[in-house]
A and B are shown apart, each in its own frame.
Chain A
Amino acid sequence: MTYTLKQLSDALASRQVSSREITTAYLERIAALNPTLNAFITVDPDRALAEADAADMARAAGSAGALTGIPLAHKDVFVTEGMLTTCGSKILNNFVGPYDAHVVSQCRRAGLVLVGKTNMDEFAMGSSNENSAYGAVKNPWDLRAIPGGSSGGSAAAVAARLVPVATGTDTGGSIRQPASHCGITGIKPTYGKVSRYGMVAYASSLDQGGPMAQTAEDCALMLNVMAGFDGRDSTCLDHGDEDYTRDLNTPLKGVKIGLPKEFFTAGLDAEVAAILQAAIAQFRTLGAELVEVSLPKTELSIPAYYVIAPAEASSNLSRYDGVRYGHRAADYKDLNDMYERSRAEGFGAEVKRRILVGTYVLSHGYYDAYYLQAQKIRRLIAQDFEAAFTQCDFILGPVAPTAAFNLGEKTNDPVQMYLSDIYTLAVNLAGLPAMSLPAGFTQQGRPVGMQLIGRYFAEAQLLGAAHQFQQVTDWHTRAPVLTPLN
C-alpha cells in the first residue's frame, strides 16, 4: 500500500489494476487502522465503491484522466454534497452538505474516488488536532504524538497509507506542519490559486487549500486538479491553466536557496537543526547555491497572525447561530439565549478563545491599536520576503521548532501552542506558496520536514526543487508500521 499517486495512476492506465480493487484495498486498510488513528470523521465505503465503479467504466470508455479512479480523502473543511461536513465542530455535527466545494467538484470531475472526510482541528484552528470535537488524531509514527494541525487527519491518513492523497487547508501552517510531523509532502499554494468556494472559512485572507501526498510529484499532479480559476471566489486568481509538473525535472544547478538567519536560532530544536543541515548539504550536492538571507520581522508574525486570523474568524463564525443549519440548543428562553447557548454548546474552547480575541481586537476603541497595526505589520512581513527574494530563488527553513510533541503536552497552554507556529505564519500573511517535505527523523523516530518557500506563483518551481531532492533521498518513501486494533 505504499504506492504513490503516480504509481497508482500508471497502474490504472496500464490496466494492471482497477479502481474497485484499489479502493477496496484502501477501504480495508481504513477499516483496520482508523480506529487506532482517528484520522477520519466520515468514511463512506458504498459511495466510494460506486465512484470506483464509475471510474472503471470511464476508463473502459476511454474517458479517464490521469487521476481517474484514485482514492482520495477531503479534509472535513470542504463542503461535500450529500456527505456530512463537520469542520471538526459540534456545531456542524448534523450538517450534510447541500452543495460541493469547488475543490470537491474539481476532484470529482477528475474522477478521483472520495472515500471520506478527514479529522481536523475545529474550524482549522489548531496545531495539534486536539481541538476536534471528534477526538484527537494520533500520529501514525508514534501514537503518543500529535499529528500536527489543523489538517492532521489528512496528514495521518496519507502517512499511514489509508489514502494515497488527501486535501488540506493552510491558514497559518495547517498543511505544512502536519505534513512535517507525519513525514509526508504538502504544499500551500499562493493565496488565490485554489478557490475557497465551499472551503469553510477560518480566516479568509489567509486560508488556502492544497494537496497532501507522499511525494512532490503527487502534489503536483493533485494541484493540477485543485487549482484554477473559479468565478465564485472573488479572491481567486485568473492566471489561466498551468501544469504544475512542468518543472519536476528541472535541475537545481545554479538555483539560489536562501537560509533566513532568523529561522536558525536557539529557538530551533538541535535535532531538527541537524536534520535541516543535512538537507541543506543535500541541496548543495544537487548544485544549489546557499545564501544567507534575513526576515527580520519573523517574530512579529505571531502577534500579527493572532490578531488578523481571530478577527476574521470572529466574523466568519457568526453565521453559526442555530437558525438555518447546525446545532441549536435544546433549551432557551428567547432569541438571544438561543444564540448564546447554541454557540456556547457548539463551539470548542480554542474556537471560543479565538472568537473572543477577534471580537476584542475589532471592537470600538481597539481597532487601530490591534487590527490596523497588525495589517501594517503584515505589509512589513511581506516586504521582508520581497527583499529576501532579490537574493535567492527559494527560502529553506524549518516547518516547526521541534518534531511532533506529545498529545496533551500543550493543551492547556495556548501561548506555547501559538509560539510553535513561528516558521509558518509569515508565509500566509504574505500569501506566498510554500511546502513541507520529509527531511529525516529524530532519534525517537518522529519525522521532521523542511519548508521551502517560493515567490508568488512559483508552485511549479517549488515542486520541482522538492522532486529533485526526493530523487536523491528516501525519507518520503518511509512508512510507519502499524498494527490494527483487535
Chain B
Amino acid sequence: MKWEVVIGLEVHTQLSTCSKIFSGSSTAFGAAPNTQASAVDIALPGVLPVMNRAAVEKAICFGLAVDAHINRTSVFARKNYFYPDLPKGYQISQFELPIVEGGHINIVVGDTVKTVQLTRAHLEEDAGKSLHEDFQGMTGIDLNRAGTPLLEIVSEPDMRSAAEAVAYARALYTLVTWLGMCDGNMQEGSFRVDANVSVRPLGQAELGTRREIKNLNSFRFLEQAINYEIQWQIDLLEDGGRVQQATVLFDPDSGETRVMRTKEDAHDYRYFPDPDLLPLVITEADIDAVRATLPELPAAMAVRFAETYGVSAYDAGLLTQSLALAQYFEAAVALCPQGKLLANWVNGELAARLNREDRALAACSLSAARLAGLVARIADGTLSSKLAKQVFDALWDSDLDADAIIERDGLKQVSDSGAIEKLVDEAIAANPKAVEEFRAGKEKALNALAGQVMKASKGKANPAQVQDILRQRLQ
C-alpha cells in the first residue's frame, strides 16, 4: 500500500524580551537556579500577573510578517495541570481567542515552492526546568525559565514529509530570528518544535491517528524523529495494528521515539479565562506602530535581490536564510556590483567553509569588503576561478585583502596575448594528433589543447583568451 504522511508542527519560540511575560524578572539565560524567579514566578500566595507590552508587540510583528489576522481582542486562559515546574498549577496561555490567527509561510523543497498555512499563534508563559541529577533521589526544580514569554506557532497539517517539516521549521526559524522576536538559540531552548505525525493510505481523505513528538530542539532531531515515527507507524499499520493517539519523546541516542502518555491518561486541562487578566485589546494604532518597525521580510528581500542584482531565485532564497547573511551580501554587492558572481561565492565557497568549520557568519573574519575585493578581481579577469579559490583560502587565513595576496603570491592571471600565443604555438606543435582531431570536427580536442596551455602557464593563463587564440591558430 502507498502511504501518505501528514505532519503539522507546533513551535514554541521564546520571545526575546528583557523581562518575563507577567513579571519584572530577567529572562537572561544561565543565571544561578531560582535567582531570576520572583514572587510572581514562583507563585507565592497573593501575587498577580501583569502583561509585558513587548511580548504583545512581538506577537503582532509575527502576525504581520506571516500575513495573519491580528485579533483585536484576545483572551488569556488558564491551562490547569499539576507539574513541579509549573508553580501556579496552571499555565497562562491563550485558548479560544489567540492573538494571531491564520497566516502562511512559503517553503522551498527541492525545486518547488509550497505554502504552509498557519492555524494560529498564541502568547503563553514558559515553565521552569526539572533537573534530574541526583539530589538524594529527588528532582531539583529551577524556576528561572518560568514565565519567559513564548509565542506558540501552530501550523495546519500541511507537510507531507520530514523534509517539508524541516523546511518549514527552518523558514519559521529564519523569520522569527529575522524579526528579532526570538534569539534562535536552540541549545538554550529558544526554539522548540512539537511534531504531530500521522499516516494514511494515499487517496484517503480522513486523517490517520496522530502521535505528537514533543520538544525537538534541533532540525536534525526533527528530521530523524519524524522519519523514525513515519516508519514506525507504517510498519505498525502494515502489520495490521492501529495507531493509538499518544504523546511521544524522541531519544537522540537510540534514534527512536517512546510513549510519554496515551490519550487515556491525557490531561483534562480545564481551560477557562484567567480572571486575573482582562481581555487584551489591540488597536489599529498599536498595529500601525509595529508595522512601522517591521523590517523588509526575507521573501521580499529575495525578490529584490533577484531583480536588482540579477541573482537567481534559488540563490536569492539562500542569501535570505538569515538577516546577517543578507546584510553581508548587500554590503559586498555595494562594493562590487557583481551580484551573480558574489552570490555564487557567498552561497558556495563561503557557506561551505562556514559549514565545514561549524562557524556562524558573525564569528567569521572574512569581511564582506574583503570578499568583494576578491570577486572584483575575478570579474576584471585578474583571477581565474581556480586562482580565486587559492586567494579565498589565503583570505580566510589572513587579514590581508585580495590584491595584497595576489601581489604577494604572484597569482595574477596572464592576459598578455604575446605570451599566451607562444604557449599555444608550443602546444599545437607538441600535439599533432589533437590538432588533427579538432580539424576533423571533434570539439573536445580543443579542450585537451587548452589544458596543455593552462598547465604550461601554471594555471595563470586567462582561460578565455587561451580558447580564443587556439581557435584563431587552428582555423
> Which A positions have Cβ atoms within 8 angstroms of B?
78-79, 85, 87, 92, 95, 98-99, 101, 196-201, 203-205, 231-235, 311-312, 314-315, 317-319, 321, 323-325, 335, 339, 359, 362-364, 367, 371
**Residue of chain A at shortest CB distance from B89:** A318
- Tell me which residues across on chain A come within 8 A of B278, comparing CB atoms: 234-235
Q: Which of B42, B44, B46: most chain A CB closer than 10 A? A: B46
Least CB distance from B128 to A in Å reads 10
Is there an interface contact between A197 and B46, defined as CB atoms closer than 8 Å?
Answer: yes
Q: Which of B48, B51, B278: most chain A CB closer than 10 A? A: B48
Least CB distance from B74 to A in Å reads 15
Offer 7 A-B interface pairs, CB within 8 angstroms, sorted by A.
A101-B46, A231-B50, A234-B48, A318-B80, A319-B43, A319-B87, A325-B45
Using a Cβ cutoff of 8 Å, how many contacts connect chains A and B? Answer: 95
Q: Does B328 contact A (CB under 8 A)?
A: no
Q: Does B451 contact A (CB under 8 A)?
A: no
Tell which of B1-9, B219-227, B268-276, B297-305 binds the partner. Answer: B268-276
Secondary structure type dominating chain A contacts? loop
- Tell me which residues across on chain B come within 8 A of A311, comparing CB atoms: 272
**Residue of chain B at shortest CB distance from A311:** B272
- Tell me which residues across on chain B come within 8 A of A234, comparing CB atoms: 48-51, 276-278
A323, B82: Cα distance in complex, Å? 11
- Tell me which residues across on chain B come within 8 A of A204, comparing CB atoms: 275-276
Which 5 pairs of residues, A with B, have the shortest CB-CB distance?
Answer: A318-B89, A362-B270, A205-B275, A204-B275, A198-B46
A92, B277: Cα distance in complex, Å? 26
Is there an interface contact between B46 and A371, defined as CB atoms closer than 8 Å?
Answer: no
Per-position 1/0 for B41-84, Cβ under 8 A of A: 01111111111000000000000000000000000001010101
Q: Does B88 contact A (CB under 8 A)?
A: yes
Q: Does B469 contact A (CB under 8 A)?
A: no
- Tell me which residues across on chain A come within 8 A of B108, comparing CB atoms: none
Q: Does B318 contact A (CB under 8 A)?
A: no
- Tell me which residues across on chain B come within 8 A of A199, comparing CB atoms: 46
**Residue of chain A at shortest CB distance from B267:** A364
- Tell me which residues across on chain A come within 8 A of B88, comparing CB atoms: 318-319
**Residue of chain B at shortest CB distance from A233:** B48
Q: Report which of A79, A85, A315, A335 forms a contact with B89, defined as CB distance below 8 A.
A: A315
Question: Given A101-B46, A198-B46, A323-B84, is A235 in contact with B276 using a C-beta cutoff of 8 Å?
Answer: yes
Is there an interface contact between B272 and A319, defined as CB atoms closer than 8 Å?
Answer: no
A477, B330: Cα distance in complex, Å? 84
A363, B47: Cα distance in complex, Å? 25
- Tell me which residues across on chain A come within 8 A of B271, comparing CB atoms: 362, 367
Is there an interface contact between A318 and B90, defined as CB atoms closer than 8 Å?
Answer: yes
- Tell me which residues across on chain A come within 8 A of B47, comparing CB atoms: 197-198
A205, B275: Cα distance in complex, Å? 5
**Residue of chain A at shortest CB distance from B34:** A324
Question: Given A234-B48, A319-B45, A363-B268, is A324 in contact with B87 using a C-beta cutoff of 8 Å?
Answer: yes
A318, B50: Cα distance in complex, Å? 20
Interface residues on chain B, number (Cβ under 8 Å):
28
- Tell me which residues across on chain A come within 8 A of B50, comparing CB atoms: 231-234
Q: Does B379 contact A (CB under 8 A)?
A: no
Q: Does B474 contact A (CB under 8 A)?
A: no
Question: Given A315-B90, A321-B89, is A362 in contact with B80 using a C-beta cutoff of 8 Å?
Answer: yes
- Tell me which residues across on chain B come within 8 A of A98, comparing CB atoms: 39, 44
Is there an interface contact between B48 and A325, defined as CB atoms closer than 8 Å?
Answer: no
- Tell me which residues across on chain A come within 8 A of B48, comparing CB atoms: 196-197, 232-235
Q: Which residues of chain B in 272-291 are interfacial with respect to chain A, using CB atoms and an 8 Å cutoff?
A: 272, 275-278
- Tell me which residues across on chain B come within 8 A of A95, comparing CB atoms: 45
Q: Which residues of chain B in 86-134 are interfacial with respect to chain A, using CB atoms and an 8 Å cutoff?
A: 87-90
Is there an interface contact between A371 and B276, defined as CB atoms closer than 8 Å?
Answer: no
Q: Which of B82, B87, B275: most chain A CB closer than 10 A? A: B275
A201, B88: Cα distance in complex, Å? 12
- Tell me which residues across on chain B come within 8 A of A362, comparing CB atoms: 80, 270-272
Is there an interface contact between B44 and A79, defined as CB atoms closer than 8 Å?
Answer: yes
Is there an interface contact between B89 and A319, defined as CB atoms closer than 8 Å?
Answer: yes
- Tell me which residues across on chain B come within 8 A of A85, comparing CB atoms: 45
- Tell me which residues across on chain B come within 8 A of A233, comparing CB atoms: 48, 50
A51, B141: Cα distance in complex, Å? 38
Least CB distance from A375 to B in Å reads 9
Is there an interface contact between B44 and A315, defined as CB atoms closer than 8 Å?
Answer: no
Least CB distance from A428 to B in Å reads 12
Question: Given A197-B47, A198-B47, is A324 in contact with B42 using a C-beta cutoff of 8 Å?
Answer: yes
Least CB distance from A171 to B in Å reads 12
Is there an interface contact between A371 and B87, defined as CB atoms closer than 8 Å?
Answer: no
Question: Given A318-B90, A321-B89, is A79 in contact with B46 using a C-beta cutoff of 8 Å?
Answer: yes
Q: Which of B88, B90, B276, B277: most chain A CB closer than 10 A? A: B276
Is there an interface contact between B45 and A200, defined as CB atoms closer than 8 Å?
Answer: yes
Is there an interface contact between B268 and A201, defined as CB atoms closer than 8 Å?
Answer: no
**Residue of chain A at shortest CB distance from B84:** A323
A371, B44: Cα distance in complex, Å? 26
Least CB distance from A368 to B in Å reads 11
Question: Given A319-B43, A325-B44, is A312 in contact with B82 using a C-beta cutoff of 8 Å?
Answer: no
A87, B39: Cα distance in complex, Å? 18
A339, B87: Cα distance in complex, Å? 13
- Tell me which residues across on chain B come within 8 A of A79, comparing CB atoms: 44-46
Task: Given contact pairs A235-B276, A367-B271, A367-B272, enumerate 20 new A-B contacts (beta carbons under 8 Å).
Answer: A79-B44, A79-B46, A87-B45, A95-B45, A99-B39, A197-B46, A203-B275, A205-B275, A234-B51, A235-B275, A312-B275, A314-B80, A314-B270, A315-B270, A321-B82, A321-B89, A323-B141, A335-B84, A362-B271, A362-B272
A314, B271: Cα distance in complex, Å? 12
**Residue of chain A at shortest CB distance from B143:** A324
Question: Given A234-B50, A234-B51, A323-B141, is A359 in contact with B270 using a C-beta cutoff of 8 Å?
Answer: yes
Per-position 1/0 for B237-281, Cβ under 8 A of A: 000000000000000000000000000000010111001111000
Question: Given A311-B272, A315-B78, A315-B89, is A324 in contact with B46 using a C-beta cutoff of 8 Å?
Answer: no
A323, B268: Cα distance in complex, Å? 22
- Tell me which residues across on chain B come within 8 A of A205, comparing CB atoms: 275
**Residue of chain A at shortest CB distance from B22:** A234
Least CB distance from A372 to B in Å reads 9
Is there an interface contact between B275 and A318, defined as CB atoms closer than 8 Å?
Answer: no
A232, B270: Cα distance in complex, Å? 26
- Tell me which residues across on chain A come within 8 A of B270, comparing CB atoms: 314-315, 359, 362-364, 367
- Tell me which residues across on chain B come within 8 A of A339, comparing CB atoms: 82
Q: Which of A233, A321, A367: most chain B CB closer than 10 A? A: A321
- Tell me which residues across on chain A come within 8 A of B275, comparing CB atoms: 203-205, 235, 312
A420, B248: Cα distance in complex, Å? 51
- Tell me which residues across on chain B come within 8 A of A231, comparing CB atoms: 50
Least CB distance from B375 to A in Å reads 56
Least CB distance from B165 to A in Å reads 30
Q: Which of A92, A362, A371: most chain B CB closer than 10 A? A: A362
- Tell me which residues across on chain A come within 8 A of B49, comparing CB atoms: 234
A132, B12: Cα distance in complex, Å? 43
- Tell me which residues across on chain B come within 8 A of A200, comparing CB atoms: 45-46
Least CB distance from A456 to B in Å reads 16
Least CB distance from B275 to A in Å reads 4
- Tell me which residues across on chain A come within 8 A of B89, comparing CB atoms: 315, 317-319, 321
Least CB distance from A482 to B in Å reads 33
- Tell me which residues across on chain A come within 8 A of B141, comparing CB atoms: 323
Least CB distance from A376 to B in Å reads 13
A339, B86: Cα distance in complex, Å? 13
A359, B78: Cα distance in complex, Å? 13
A393, B317: Cα distance in complex, Å? 69
Least CB distance from B213 to A in Å reads 24
Least CB distance from B296 to A in Å reads 36
A142, B113: Cα distance in complex, Å? 82
Least CB distance from B219 to A in Å reads 33
